[in-house]
Amino acid sequence: MATVHLGRLVSDFGVGRLVAVKRLHRHCAAEPDFVSMFLDEARLAARIRHPHVVSLLDLVSHNDELYMILEYVEGETLAKLVSSSAQAGEPIPDRIVAAVMAGALHGLHAAHEARTEDGTPLGIVHRDFTPQNVLVGTDGVARVADFGIAKAAVRLQHTREGQLKGKLAYMAPEQLGANAAPDRRTDIFSAGVVLWEMLARQRLFEGENDGQIVMKILTGAVDPPSDHVRGLDPAWDAIVERALALSPDRRYPTARAMAEAIEATFSPAPPSEVGAWVSTSAAAALGVRAGWVAEIERAPIATETEATTASPLTTETPAAPPGRRRTAATVGLAVAAIVAIGAVALARGGARGADESAAAVAPTEPAPPAEPAPAEPVPAASASTESEPEPMAPARSAPRRVPRGGARAPSTAAQPSATAKPSCRYYDAEEKIWKFRVECYK
C-alpha cells in the first residue's frame, strides 16, 4: 500500500539528513481502511524507542497524500543478505547469525513491551516478522521495521473475521485457526522460521500451493537445520526447535529470552564485523544507492522562507501563535526536501524518482544580478495597501540612463511611493547574497 523513497529532511538552519520516506499510494489514500492502517503504523512506531527498531521521525500530510518520515538505514534487508550468501555458496558465520538474530529479537521485545502515554501496555504483536522486515545496517546493527499489520490494543483498523494478515510461510499455527488469538509468542515462531532460514539459507515452509504450506505448518514438519548444513553447530537445532514448537506454551516466553539463549550459547560478532559482512554481501546494491545519496546531497536546499512560502502546509493566519508557525515551517521544509528535491524509489527494483503525483516544486534561488542592486529599497511591481505583505520574487528596477555630466537622470521608478510596499528580497552587494526583509514576515 506504500512505496519507500530516499529523501532529505532539512532543519530550520539548513542542516539536512537522509531519511526514508514511506509514501501511501494515492489509490490507497482514498480508502479509509488503508489510511487507518497507515496512521496506526505511525502511532505504534512512535511509541517504540529502541536502537534495534527503525525510528519514526515525523508523519506529514501534503496535497492529500500521507508521508511517514523514517530513519534511513544504510544497509540491506536480511532477506537479500541471506539470498546473496546462498548464491555465493558461503554459510553465514555463527557469530554473525547470533548478532543479527539477537539484535532483531531485542528490538521485537521492545515492541512487545511498548506502552501508551499513560503507561497502558499496547499489546503489540508484529505479525510480519520476516527477513524482508529486518534491516541490517553497515553500522552492524539489525533493526526491525514495518509495523503496518501489527496487532495492538489501540488500533483504529481491526482485522476482519476470517482475514489473514502476514506472510503465510512465516505464520504460527495459532494464526491459521478459526479463533486466532496471536500474542507475543506468535512472533517467536516467526523468529524461529527466520533463524532456520538464516542457517540453512533456503526456505523452510514451501509448497506448490498455500494448502501444502498450511499443512506443513500445522503438522510441525520441520527438519533440524543441521540436516541441511554440514558442520553446523547442533546447539542451533535446540534453539530452533523450541522457537518452532507447535504449542505457544513450549516456546520461549519472550523475544528477549530467545535472544539471551542465543547470546549465552554463541559469541555474537561485534558491530564492526557485522557491518563489514553487510558491506561485502551487498556491495553492488550499496554502490548503486550511494549514487542516489550523492545526487540528493548535491541538490539545492530551499531556505526556510522559501519552503514556508512554497508549501500549502505552512499557510497560517497572522493570529497563529509563533510555535505553530514554526512547526508549520519545519513541516514545509520536510515536504520541500521530500517532494521538491526528487525522491528516489528504493522499492520495486530500485526505480528512481517519485511518480507524477508528487509534482510540487519549491522556488529556486535567482542568480545574482550582474551589478549590485541599489542600496535603496527597490519598489515592488505593484503597490498595495494590505497590512500583510505578500512574499514575492525580487523585483528588478528599470535601467537608468546616466548623462555625461555624471549626475543621474531623475527617475520616478527609483522613488517608492507612500503606498508602495518594499520588495521582500534584496541583494546585499557587500556579502553578495540575496536577503529577506524582516518587516515582510513580522
Q: How far apart are the C-alpha atoms of 127 and 108, rounded to whole Å?
A: 11
pLDDT by 10-residue block (mean), the chain, 442 residues: 88 85 86 87 91 94 87 96 93 96 97 92 92 96 90 57 70 79 92 96 90 89 91 95 95 97 96 97 94 87 50 36 38 38 39 35 42 40 37 40 43 43 61 61 48
User: Domain check: are 83 and 205 in the same one?
Assistant: yes
User: Domain check: are 333 and 215 in the same one?
Assistant: no
In a domain, 358, yes or no: no
Instruction: Say if residues 24 and 35 touch (Cβ distance below 8 Å).
Output: yes
User: Domain check: are 296 and 332 in the same one?
Assistant: yes
pTM of the model as a whole:
0.68
User: Domain check: are 317 and 260 in the same one?
Assistant: no
Return the active site residues.
128
Residue 13 grid cell: 538552519
Q: What local confidence, expressed as pLDDT, does residue 266 receive?
A: 96
User: Domain check: are 98 and 166 in the same one?
Assistant: yes
Show which of 255, 280, 305 is a domain's final residue.
280
Show which of 229, 259, 280 is a domain's final residue.
280
Q: How far is CA 57 from the centre of its chain?
A: 8
In a domain, 357, yes or no: no
User: Domain check: are 115 and 204 in the same one?
Assistant: yes
Q: What local confidence, expressed as pLDDT, does residue 137 receive?
A: 97
In a domain, 355, yes or no: no
Q: What local confidence, expressed as pLDDT, does residue 390 receive?
A: 38
In a domain, 360, yes or no: no
User: Domain check: are 208 and 245 in the same one?
Assistant: yes
User: Domain check: are 13 and 161 in the same one?
Assistant: no
Instruction: Say if residues 271 and 216 touch (Cβ distance below 8 Å).
Output: no
Q: What local confidence, expressed as pLDDT, does residue 307 receive?
A: 47
**Domain, as residue range, for 139:** 75-280
In a domain, 351, yes or no: no
Provide the mean pLDDT of the chain: 75
User: Domain check: are 95 and 237 in the same one?
Assistant: yes
Q: What local confidence, expressed as pLDDT, does residue 180 receive?
A: 66
Q: What local confidence, expressed as pLDDT, does residue 163 receive?
A: 57
Radius of gyration of the chain (CA): 28
User: Domain check: are 314 and 252 in the same one?
Assistant: no
The CATH number assigned to the domain holding 269 equals 1.10.510.10
User: Domain check: are 266 and 307 in the same one?
Assistant: no
* Tally of domains within the chain: 3
**Residues 6+ away with beta carbon under 8 Å from 315:** 328
Instruction: Say if residues 70 and 144 touch (Cβ distance below 8 Å).
Output: no
Tell me the pLDDT tens digit for each residue of 271-281: 999 999 999 99
In a domain, 362, yes or no: no
In a domain, 354, yes or no: no
User: Domain check: are 95 and 232 in the same one?
Assistant: yes
In a domain, 353, yes or no: no
Tell me the pLDDT tens digit for each residue of 404-421: 444 444 444 444 444 444
The CATH number assigned to the domain holding 302 equals 3.30.200.20
Nearest-10 crossing angle of helices 255-265, 184-200: 30
